[in-house]
Amino acid sequence: MTETKQILALNRFDAERARGLDGRLGELVARRQRAFGVSSVLFYEQPLEIARAEGVFMFDASGKPYLDVYNNVPVVGHCHPAVVAAIAQQAGRLNTNTRYLYESLTTYAETLLGTFPAALSNLSMTCTGSEANDIALRIARAWTGGSGFVVTETAYHGNTSLVMEVSPSSYRKGRELPPHIRTIPAPDSYRLAPGEDLGEVFAGHLQRAIDDLEGSGIRFAGLILDTVFSSDGVFADPPGFLARAVERVHRAGGLFIADEVQPGFGRTGDGYWCFGRHGIEPDVVTLGKPMGNGFPMGGVVTRPELLECFCAETGYFNTFAGNPVAVAAGQAVLDTLQREGLIANANSVGGYLRDGLWRLAQSDARIGDVRGAGLFVGLEFIGVDRAPDGALASHVINAMKERGILIGAAGAYGNVLKIRPALCFSQANADQFLTTLQAVLDVG
Amino acid sequence: MTETKQILALNRFDAERARGLDGRLGELVARRQRAFGVSSVLFYEQPLEIARAEGVFMFDASGKPYLDVYNNVPVVGHCHPAVVAAIAQQAGRLNTNTRYLYESLTTYAETLLGTFPAALSNLSMTCTGSEANDIALRIARAWTGGSGFVVTETAYHGNTSLVMEVSPSSYRKGRELPPHIRTIPAPDSYRLAPGEDLGEVFAGHLQRAIDDLEGSGIRFAGLILDTVFSSDGVFADPPGFLARAVERVHRAGGLFIADEVQPGFGRTGDGYWCFGRHGIEPDVVTLGKPMGNGFPMGGVVTRPELLECFCAETGYFNTFAGNPVAVAAGQAVLDTLQREGLIANANSVGGYLRDGLWRLAQSDARIGDVRGAGLFVGLEFIGVDRAPDGALASHVINAMKERGILIGAAGAYGNVLKIRPALCFSQANADQFLTTLQAVLDVG
């Protein structure tokens, strides 16, 4: 149970190949490697130089358009004019910190909190989802007095030292789990045995992990889950399957942290938050990526008594968090989601897209499963006996790129296409994706 | 030595007093408290509603100007047109992540790295100084195999779980230091005994802390210092006094992390980095606050082999870090510092300001010391026998605010005025500050 699976970095550019790149690209890559060293991570066998982006499209240096089905940060579309105008206007007016009063901050918080269950009435702002999860874990430690966390085997929750502990997908080969962390299998609806109930199976794994922690003398602090299991391979169905696990968490005295950094802000097509799909009420919710459509911002939403418990232990202040420019960007995102009906669009176009993918699957046995909610869709490539086929996913990703579509993969074996375009994705965009995928699969 | 001093939060708004505030302000504060709960921290006995800012001035909701001598984030001036234009233009063109290539990122890194000693040739970008210090500490742990860090008693390095451990100024009363952290007194040049050498005294404290760690079976990983000791009370002189401490760090097999989040980007008036003042070469340098003039960005600069050691342990990626908008803001900051000669200005106006403060001190025994470098100046209020007078600092801060000047305090007793305006601060601005301070002290 505590064995950590490694995501195969199939889609990662390999610096060793840099010498084989042609003129400008080769020079750009070499300069970048010099300045950023090993910390430079690039997509694709042939990295992509991107010059601009608009709506659901990104454009490379030569002007070639790419339909962006990968990046979930620009949730209302790349460079959305409403967000750009809000940032530009506010950056020219005031950019300071929250130790001064400015009404826009409170108005934003009120708007955002209005999308949550009433008990989740306090917001604390950060600059990133990682900072938000770092706080969430500390809230759980402070509230429970415990240090034990349970996470899924291929979870990713961010990059601070503390959050990395609960992000086994980022562990390098051979790194062991810290003694206070337990991993459990993702709720793999595709590999469920006949007659099994997904909620029961998942809650059973959780209970054994909690028991194992307590048996080791480690008090259970909580369960942290990406509510759509993004890096585990996208698992959204059946709605409600998480309820039993949350019950077990509370019975064991822990907190349930819903990481909405990837699924949040309407992407799953039914309300703002994916936890709503399961009829559950988290103790702590963390926000990030799409919150400012690319402007760095994140947040923690929780109950006042939990926040008080954390703040009693430590004086927390975050210089950039909640600055007026971030707030302007965040407000523009919420307003645009509303004004353009993007959550409903995510639902309908997401359904249309999944239907199309299922039609592809009918005639292509390599597509084992199509799943997800709204515009967070997973498509699983398999071989014999449902064996994950990460190599095919990698091939498809690079071939799709050649044909002008950007897409990524997830799952412990990197075999699940992760489809999550901006929520203004249209049926025509979906058709382009479906046609291209079919063409790539017909050749490959 | 490990006793943690508490910064007296003398200048913090107390929510209990919210009911005493008049109409609009009272309502704004109440709404903010509801939405942000205990995590809401405001300045001043009467919080300030700020509507806009420009250059060295901030303006409240009624249009009243405040000379900003506190905020070190807008290093080239609030809402500098060059930075605002860079952000606005780039936000409308492309805002994505560093897994795609865009030349501006590399150009920025090259420009920034050009201000560092040649061996510090790798940059890793983050969104905040906290994230940068979180990485820096992990680099030191990975490189040395140790976990023991030495910090000053009132240090502040940021807000993640790991970085909070080395930020005793944020500990709540009664919280104990973690077993692998040792604190040492700040290099208090003002309270040095006759004949003592500051560098020797500081290195002696450090050596005893290292010995104490090793004696407890904890391997020494490194020393992390804010190179101008911002929260300890601002200590910059004599130049070179840190050299001996850095020698000891290296002799003990540890790394020296220079936290330039507060002093960096030219503020100390002689080159870009305050560590340069001491003729030392850090192993790791961390950057934050002024890096984007308010756009959330931070960074770690280090040697390639140190970064490799960190990356071998963990797969690090940061969604927002190094995005093209941050890069545009950062480049505009570097270009503006250069074009407007702001580092030289910090040096000359800083000297002019310190001279004026010393003249005030001649006729006012409550001013014990004036110190600092460039436009990072500390002024220490004392009573009998140099006893720190935090109450006077608090009074001055609130009285200065009434007279249109924003300023803060630092030091273990909150008795050191922390003077650090934008680097475009003029002699006329300095005169306004000096005249107002004199008037406040004449009354108080």
Beta strands in A227-278 (DSSP E): 255-259
For testing contact with chain B, the best of A320, A323, A406 (most B CBs within 10 A): A320
Summarised one tens digit per residue, pLDDT across range A115-171 is 999 999 999 999 999 999 999 999 999 999 999 999 999 999 999 999 999 999 998
SS3 A409: strand
Query: Contact B253/B227 with Cβ under 8 angstroms?
Result: no
Q: Are both A348 and A326 inside the same structural domain?
A: no
Give the chain A residue nearest B131 (alpha carbons). A160
**CA-to-CA distance for B363 and B365, rounded, in angstroms?**
7
Classify residue B132: in a domain, yes or no: yes
Asked if the bond preceding A194 is cis, omega within 30° of 0, the reply is: no
Residue with tokens 């545009």: B328
CB neighbours of B87 closer than 8 A, spacing ≥ 6? Answer: A87, A88, A91, B295, B325, B328, B329, B332
Q: Are both A333 and A359 inside the same structural domain?
A: no
Q: Are both B332 and B368 inside the same structural domain?
A: no
Classify residue B2: in a domain, yes or no: no
- What are the strands of the beta sheet with B50-54, ordered from one edge? B50-54, B57-60, B65-68, B405-406
For testing contact with chain A, the best of B125, B161, B162, B166 (most A CBs within 10 A): B161
Classify residue B175: in a domain, yes or no: yes
CATH of the domain at A165: 3.40.640.10
End-to-end CA distance of chain A: 36
Task: Answer yes or no: do B51 and A94 touch at CB < 8 A.
Answer: yes
Q: Which pLDDT value is given to residue A14? A: 65
- What are the strands of the beta sheet with A416-419, ordered from one edge? A367-373, A376-381, A416-419, A408-410
Read off the pLDDT band of A40 (50, 70, 90): confident
Task: Answer yes or no: do B52 and A162 touch at CB < 8 A.
Answer: no
Q: Are both B318 and B359 inside the same structural domain?
A: no
Summarised one tens digit per residue, pLDDT across range B212-232 is 999 999 999 999 999 999 999
Query: Contact A332/A161 with Cβ under 8 angstroms?
Result: no
List the alpha helices (DSSP H) in B234-323: 243-251, 304-311
- What average pLDDT does range A31-36 have in this prediction? 95
- What average pLDDT does range A361-378 have in this prediction? 98
**Exposure string for B418-432, b = 16+ CB within 10 A, e = fewer:** bbbbbbbbeeebbeb
**CA-to-CA distance for B181 and B178, rounded, in angstroms?**
6
Of B99, B109, B323, the CB nearest to A294: B323
Summarised one tens digit per residue, pLDDT across range B359-391 is 999 999 999 999 999 999 999 999 999 999 999
Q: Which positions in chain B touch A36 (Cβ < 8 Å)?
A: 106, 109, 122-124
**CA-to-CA distance for A75 and A346, rounded, in angstroms?**
10
DSSP state of A127: S
Domain boundary among A339, A360, A387: A339
**CA-to-CA distance for B400 and B418, rounded, in angstroms?**
13
What percentage of residues in chain B have a pLDDT greater than 90?
90
* A279 closest CA partner among A241, A305, A322: A241
On the question of pLDDT at B112 being above 80, the answer is yes
Which structural domain, as residue segments, surrounds residue A380?
15-78+341-443
Read off the pLDDT band of A7 (50, 70, 90): very low
Of A32, A162, A304, the CB nearest to B37: A304
Classify residue B312: in a domain, yes or no: yes
Classify residue A7: in a domain, yes or no: no
CB neighbours of A341 closer than 8 A, spacing ≥ 6? Answer: none
Give the chain B residue nearest A59 (alpha carbons). B94
SS3 B143: helix
Domain boundary among A339, A355, A372: A339
Of B28, B53, B312, the CB nearest to A94: B53
> For chain A, how are helix, strand and coil distributed in percent, rounded to 5?
40, 20, 40
Q: Are both B263 and B186 inside the same structural domain?
A: yes
Locate A96 and state its tokens: 């300071």
Query: Contact B309/B140 with Cβ under 8 angstroms?
Result: no
Q: Are both B251 and B367 inside the same structural domain?
A: no
Q: Which positions in chain B touch A293 (Cβ < 8 Å)?
A: 95
Task: Answer yes or no: do A131 and B159 touch at CB < 8 A.
Answer: yes
* B379 closest CA partner among B363, B393, B400: B393
**CA-to-CA distance for A358 and A261, rounded, in angstroms?**
27
Q: Which pLDDT value is given to residue B2? A: 31
Q: Other CB atoms closer than 10 Å to residue B92's CB: what's the count? A: 19
Task: Answer yes or no: do B288 and A319 touch at CB < 8 A.
Answer: yes
Read off the pLDDT band of B440 (50, 70, 90): very high
Read off the pLDDT band of A172 (50, 70, 90): confident
**CA-to-CA distance for B117 and B276, rounded, in angstroms?**
9
* B276 closest CA partner among B244, B335, B230, B228: B228
Q: Are both B131 and B47 inside the same structural domain?
A: no
Read off the pLDDT band of A426 (50, 70, 90): very high
CA dihedral angle for residue A170, residue A42, residue A132, residue B77, rounded to 10 degrees: 150
Q: Are both A148 and A236 inside the same structural domain?
A: yes
Q: Are both B354 and B288 inside the same structural domain?
A: no
> Distance, in angstroms, between B334 CA and closest chain A CA?
17
Task: Answer yes or no: do A101 and B28 touch at CB < 8 A.
Answer: yes
CATH of the domain at A417: 3.90.1150.10
* A309 closest CA partner among A233, A407, A221, A375: A221
Q: Which positions in chain B touch A121 (Cβ < 8 Å)?
A: 34-35, 37
Q: Which pLDDT value is given to residue A314? A: 85
Task: Answer yes or no: do B315 and A172 touch at CB < 8 A.
Answer: yes
Which long-range contacts does A334-338 make (Cβ < 8 Å, 24+ apart)? A334/A108, A334/A111, A334/A112, A334/A115, A335/A82, A336/A76, A336/A80, A336/A82, A336/A83, A337/A75, A337/A76, A337/A265, A337/A266, A337/A272, A337/A423
How many inter-chain contacts (A to B, CB under 8 Å) are there? Answer: 311
For helices B243-251 and B198-215, angle between their N-to-C axes, nearest 10 degrees = 20
Summarised one tens digit per residue, pLDDT across range A42-92 is 888 789 999 999 999 999 999 999 999 999 999 999 999 999 999 999 999
Task: Answer yes or no: do B127 and A92 touch at CB < 8 A.
Answer: no
> Distance, in angstroms, between A97 CA and closest chain B CA?
9
Task: Answer yes or no: do B160 and A160 touch at CB < 8 A.
Answer: yes
Domain boundary among A339, A369, A401: A339
Q: Which pLDDT value is given to residue A271? A: 97
Of A32, A88, A307, the CB nearest to B37: A307
Q: Which pLDDT value is given to residue B321? A: 97
Task: Answer yes or no: do B92 and A100 touch at CB < 8 A.
Answer: no
Locate A117 and state its tokens: 């269950």
Task: Answer yes or no: do B88 and A83 touch at CB < 8 A.
Answer: no
Tell me how long chain B is. 444
Q: Which positions in chain A touch B102 (Cβ < 8 Å)?
A: 49-51
Give the chain B residue nearest A133 (alpha carbons). B160
CB neighbours of A44 closer than 8 A, spacing ≥ 6? Answer: A11, A13, A397, A398, A401
Query: Contact B289/B70 with Cβ under 8 angstroms?
Result: no
- What average pLDDT does range B252-280 have in this prediction? 98
Q: Are both A289 and A349 inside the same structural domain?
A: no
Q: Are both B294 and B396 inside the same structural domain?
A: no
DSSP state of A160: S
**CA-to-CA distance for A151 and A167, rounded, in angstroms?**
8
Of A172, A311, A313, the CB nearest to B175: A313
Classify residue B186: in a domain, yes or no: yes
Classify residue A146: in a domain, yes or no: yes
Provide the whole-model pTM: 0.96
**CA-to-CA distance for A258 and A301, rounded, in angstroms?**
10
> Count of domains in chain B?
2
For testing contact with chain A, the best of B10, B25, B99 (most A CBs within 10 A): B99
> Distance, in angstroms, between A215 CA and closest chain B CA?
25
Q: Which pLDDT value is given to residue B13? A: 65
Q: Which positions in chain B touch A73 (Cβ < 8 Å)?
A: 96-97, 319-320
Task: Answer yes or no: do B74 and A95 touch at CB < 8 A.
Answer: yes
Residue with tokens 């375009």: A421
Q: Which pLDDT value is given to residue B16? A: 60
Q: Which positions in chain B touch A128 (Cβ < 8 Å)?
A: 127-128, 131, 318-320
Query: Contact B436/B429 with Cβ under 8 angstroms?
Result: no
Q: Other CB atoms closer than 10 Å to residue B251's CB: what's the count? A: 10
Classify residue B390: in a domain, yes or no: yes
Task: Answer yes or no: do A25 and B101 touch at CB < 8 A.
Answer: yes
Q: Are both A257 and A335 inside the same structural domain?
A: yes
